[in-house]
Structure 1
Amino acid sequence: MVRNRQRSHTVIGSPVGELTLVAVDGVLAGLYMERQRYRPPQDTFGHRDAGPFRDVVAQLDAYFAGERTEFDLPLTLLGTPFQRTVWAELREIPYGETVSYGELAERIGRPTASRAVGLANGKNPIGVIVPCHRVVGSTGDLTGYGGGIERKRHLLDFERRISAG
């Protein structure tokens, strides 16, 4: 478990609202939006310390400025083996593109697990950087997003504009 590990956090502004960054032993383990579904309680984020987040903030700033399409950061993804498999595959979805939950299930070799993939996607602890916003319904509809549909729409529209650039 991670209870005895050092946790810290900071809060930054972004075009999609305040983001709370959480580190475990100095490595990014959470990026949470305001009013995000499955957001852990604030008291689990540890002490406030911006120090471990310099690279994260720099890369997020570059992303939101349209200057970065991939993140190169060490991550601590805390979840079940299945969730970590889904989250690893999310990182393979190209910038500005989307896949359906069913396609994601096929990519991880579990073609009948689209609902489980959707649940794992919703519990992604590192939004934006692990791009769960790039997963849509089978018809292309914007179904579910832990940070809210408007944020999902904003991120997808933003990435498409930059990609079309």
Structure 2
Amino acid sequence: MWFDGQKYFGDTLPKEHVEKPLPVFEQTARWLDTYFSGNAPDFTPPLSLETTPFRKAVWEIMLTIPFGQTMTYGEIADRIAKQKGLSKISAQAVGGAVGHNSISIIIPCHRVVGKDGSLTGYAGGIDRKVRLLTLEKADMSLLYVPKSGTAL
């Protein structure tokens, strides 16, 4: 699942590609309807996380970030380091895994922010990240869009 114009995704399927109706699509549509009505879905549709073990670990942590709340790249890095018994993992490495999330919104990469509250690094675009966090009624007074940077 991706947005039109999103980095990394959507360009691998032929334009005429159509999926057959499956129960997972109905569950996902119900999840998205609930989400876009401004409510936190009380379930997660079945997900197939076919990726590297590191990305999967990052994505699983993102699934724990509550509706309307945020977590920093560094906090995710610290959690993974603790899980693996390591002293440190790079927040930049986490950023790379976050940026390659192929199931935007359901795996809420828009809830991941810089340590100073900066809204960077959203493959769907910073404006969309702001709109999603606003929909969730996140405390936007703690967050800001930087004026420059490589991850805008």
Q: TM-score, normalised by structure 2?
A: 0.78
Deviation above 4 Å: which 4+ runs of structure 1? Answer: none
Q: Distance in 2 between matches of 1:97 and 1:44?
A: 36
Q: Is residue 2:127 matched to residue 1:150?
A: yes
Of 140, 143, 148, the match for 2:117: 140
TM-aligned CA deviation for residue 46 of structure 1: 5.1
Identity %: 43
**Alignment correspondent of 2:33:** 61
Q: Distance in 2 between matches of 1:36 and 1:70?
A: 27
TM-aligned CA deviation for residue 66 of structure 1: 1.9
**Alignment correspondent of 1:11:** none
Q: Distance in 2 between matches of 1:101 and 1:157?
A: 20
Q: Distance in 2 between matches of 1:84 and 1:45?
A: 30
TM-aligned CA deviation for residue 45 of structure 1: 9.3
TM alignment of 1:65-84, pairs within 5 A: 65-84=37-56
Q: Is residue 2:64 matched to residue 1:92?
A: yes
SS of residue paired to 2:132: helix
Q: Distance in 2 between matches of 1:70 and 1:139?
A: 30
TM-aligned CA deviation for residue 34 of structure 1: 0.6
Q: Does the Cα contact within 8 Å between 1:91 and 1:130 map onto a contact in 2?
A: yes
Q: Which amino acid aligns with 1:107?
A: R
**Alignment correspondent of 2:94:** 117
Q: Distance in 2 between matches of 1:61 and 1:81?
A: 30
**Alignment correspondent of 1:36:** 6
Q: Does the Cα contact within 8 Å between 1:101 and 1:114 map onto a contact in 2?
A: yes
TM-aligned CA deviation for residue 47 of structure 1: 3.4
Compare 91-100 and 48-57 and name the one that shifted more: 48-57
Structure 2 unpaired stretches of 5+: 139-152
Which structure is higher in strand share?
A: 1
Q: TM-score, normalised by structure 1?
A: 0.73
**Alignment correspondent of 2:78:** 106
Q: Does the Cα contact within 8 Å between 1:101 and 1:118 map onto a contact in 2?
A: yes
SS of residue paired to 1:48: coil
Query: Which fold has the larger relative contact order, with Cα–Cα distance below 8 Å and residues 6 or more apart in sequence?
Result: 2
Q: Which amino acid aligns with 1:146?
A: A
